[in-house]
Amino acid sequence: MKHAVIIGGGLGGLGAALRLAARNWQVTVCEQGPALGGKMNSWKASGFTFDTGPSLITMPWIFRELFEVAGSRLEDHLELVLMRPLASMNYDDGMQFIYSSNLPDWLDTLRRIAPNDIDGFYRFMQLGARLWELSKETFLRRPISQPPDRRVLSALRHFPFRHAWGNYHNAVKAHFNSPHLQQLYDRYPTYVGSSPYECPATLLVIPYIEYAFGGWYVSGGLYRIVESLVQLLHKHGVELRTNAKVSHITHSARRATGVELDSGERIPADVVIMNGDAACADHLLGNSESPSVPPAARSLSGLVFLLGVRRSLPEIHHHSVFFSADYPREFRQLFNERRFPDDPTVYVSAPSRSDRSLVPGDGEALFVMANAPANDHDSWDSASLQDARSRVFNRLRKGGFPDIEDDIAVETAWTPRHIAHRYLMPGGAIYGTHSHGWRKAFFRPPNKDRNYAGLYYVGGSSHPGGGTPTVLQSARITCELIARHEGA
């Protein structure tokens, strides 16, 4: 029986482990931290339960397919809840509306706030649909190095090059006159840690996917996905090791031969899979002193506050966005000046509005996040953290969020520095490199190492990129490459 060692127990690593185990591989997962799941994780305090990472999923069939690979049914483990509406949108000028994936409801809203943009909305989604039809069978399912087949070449003949290879923000402006709708759709590149003013219009596929296929919540919190996968992994005999930090990838004659842990223990393997920032691989191979992605190439990090509130907040929605007054300035400060914005856009997830199992009594569990640069030098000491917190809460107040300061029972903060340390991500860059320019958007590190046989990659920093369903597609692509090249 062939043996695979997976470095990192994030969602991509767990997905790869399950696929290989289903093919009768012996699999060992080495997770440096105390819990599996990577960025999809959980924190509990005083009766409150928080997801510390993703707060919704898209493309649920990708999750179902993974459970089927393991001989199970997703519905036997998880309850998925469609988010309708998707979110409450709140602007600096007082404009507020509900963004719904229910078309009649959304058209009613458009007639009220931007009647002249209804046609633009249809054209915008049609362009997203064309990008989706091409990418779903190509970019999202195939290794980046695989030559295109006849079906791909046929699809490329109908690819909307003129619109798709342009600038994302310019494409949004070409479809919407309303500054509120422009800001709404300009937010989507942040889903992959990027700026709408720098990334290609091909990322228009992201708002299309969310609108067409919905955003989904998992009852009990998204960490239930990880817990269910762990159950299946145990059932398939996968060895799951936490607090097992890999210090070195062993290799001989340009072939990976296993890993060495901080403890000095060596684990031989036929295949090594790196589930983590691909930039860390050179360091683990002994080819560089420390893992590094140049700051200018990094995706966004984030500043997160997990807040347990004693009282009910019926006036808020499950998902809310509070937009800054000047979006271009916010992204200049994030990417050019590389500092936390003076006026950050703030995202609030309040899953307790839909799921009372997460809180004690009448309380609320809030995940509050603002984008932050992924720097090495930021200390995030108590003074800088308090200053950033003040900016976040100032934006919430301006957007009409209820005053909760006197009702906070539980609070903790996750800074970029914390994220960098916990997940070995340079500067806390959540998605590895940003997607500025079509090469960086679509030519991420491949799933098979070019220099070392038997070394593979999975996760958000590798092809095809970040996002929970995309990471699971990365696991699928990687395991197909292993089947092709490792003879099993």
> Taking the C-alpha atoms of 149, 150, 152 and 158 in order, what is their torsion angle to the nearest 10 degrees?
160
Q: Please indicate, yes or no, if residue 284 is contained in any of the structural domains.
A: yes
Q: Please indicate, yes or no, if residue 80 is contained in any of the structural domains.
A: no
For the chain, how many structural domains are there in total?
3
Do residue 139 and residue 210 come from a single domain? yes
Do residue 388 and residue 413 come from a single domain? yes
In angstroms, the CA 465 to CA 451 distance is 21
Domain boundary among 192, 214, 236: 214
162: domain range? 102-214
In angstroms, the CA 29 to CA 18 distance is 11
Do residue 324 and residue 417 come from a single domain? yes
* Residues 414-463: tens digit of each pLDDT: 999 999 998 888 899 998 889 887 665 566 778 899 999 999 999 887 87
Q: Please indicate, yes or no, if residue 470 is contained in any of the structural domains.
A: yes
From first to last of its 488 residues, the chain has per-residue pLDDT tens of 999 999 999 999 999 999 999 999 999 999 999 999 999 999 999 999 999 999 999 999 999 999 999 999 999 999 999 999 999 999 999 999 999 999 999 999 999 999 999 999 999 999 999 988 887 766 555 555 554 555 555 555 556 556 667 899 999 999 999 999 999 999 999 999 999 999 999 999 999 999 999 999 999 999 999 999 999 999 999 999 999 999 999 999 999 999 999 999 999 999 999 998 777 888 899 887 666 688 889 999 999 999 999 999 999 999 999 999 999 999 999 999 999 999 999 999 999 999 999 999 999 999 999 999 999 988 899 999 999 999 999 999 999 999 999 999 999 999 999 999 988 888 999 988 898 876 655 667 788 999 999 999 998 878 787 789 999 999 999 999 999 999 76
Do residue 329 and residue 354 come from a single domain? yes
CATH number at residue 281: 3.50.50.60
Do residue 286 and residue 303 come from a single domain? no
Q: Please indicate, yes or no, if residue 22 is contained in any of the structural domains.
A: yes
DSSP secondary structure string, 76-118? GT--EEE-SS-EEEE-TTS-EEEE-SSHHHHHHHHHHH-GGGH
**Paired sense of beta strands 3-7 and 271-275, if any:** parallel
Q: Please indicate, yes or no, if residue 86 is contained in any of the structural domains.
A: no
Do residue 343 and residue 453 come from a single domain? no
Q: Please indicate, yes or no, if residue 79 is contained in any of the structural domains.
A: no
Nearest Cα residue to 204 out of 192, 214, 215: 192
Domain boundary among 179, 214, 249: 214
Q: Please indicate, yes or no, if residue 71 is contained in any of the structural domains.
A: no
Do residue 256 and residue 305 come from a single domain? no
Do residue 372 and residue 254 come from a single domain? no
Do residue 192 and residue 257 come from a single domain? no
In angstroms and rounded to an integer, the radius of gyration of the C-alpha atoms of the chain is 22
Q: Please indicate, yes or no, if residue 430 is contained in any of the structural domains.
A: no
Examine residue 104 and say whether the peptide bond preceding it is cis (omega within 30 degrees of 0).
Answer: no
Domain boundary among 190, 214, 238: 214
Do residue 302 and residue 419 come from a single domain? yes
Nearest Cα residue to 276 out of 487, 26, 99, 474: 474
Q: Could you tell me where the DSSP H helices lie in 264-326?
A: 281-285
Structure tokens at 32: 């440096």
In angstroms, the CA 44 to CA 272 distance is 33
